[in-house]
Amino acid sequence: MKKIHIILLLAIAISIGAIVAMTGDYTTYGSFALSKSNPDQTLNVVGYLDKEKELKYDPEVDANYFEFTMNDKDGTNQVVYYRGAKPQDFERSEQIVVKGSMEGAKFHAKEILMKCPSKYTDDEIRLKEKA
């Protein structure tokens, strides 16, 4: 076997190894119903904060305990538990993505991503001419 063939085989093996290593970290998007039926699977659930329900966060008691209620895209209302500090401006977020899994009756989030309201508005800009 020639040296070039050995080098090509090694390059292909390294490429396949890199692809397999990268695909192991991906999670799928789903709903709370899918998470309940597959409690061992980590899912990304997209939804909205239920602003009528109470946010449970008291940094004086436990700064790493945050609990809130969220509605997913299917309309399922679910309590979400997060072991970390409450994100800044959480109540103002337009959309929430929680990454985690169902444990008992609560969804345990490992990460929280927020889509915050746009700071840019469609207001008309008026220019004044100098006289």
What structural domains and CATH numbers belong to the chain?
A: 28-115 (2.40.50.140)
pLDDT above 70 covers what percent of the chain?
A: 85
How many CB atoms are closer than 10 A to CB 86?
20
What does the alpha-carbon distance between residue 43 and residue 10 come to, in Å, rounded to a whole number?
35
**pLDDT band at residue 81 using 50, 70 and 90 as cut-offs:** very high
DSSP structure string for 18-45: HHHHHHTT--EEE-HHHHHH-TTS-EEE
Angle at 119 between CA 83 and CA 74, to 5 degrees: 50
Q: What is the tens place of the pLDDT at every residue in 11-63?
A: 999 999 888 877 765 668 889 999 899 888 889 999 999 989 999 999 899 98
45 in Cβ contact with 107 (< 8 Å) = yes
- Is the distance from CB of 70 to CB of 50 less than 8 angstroms? yes
Instruction: Quote the tokens at residue 71.
Output: 């509605």
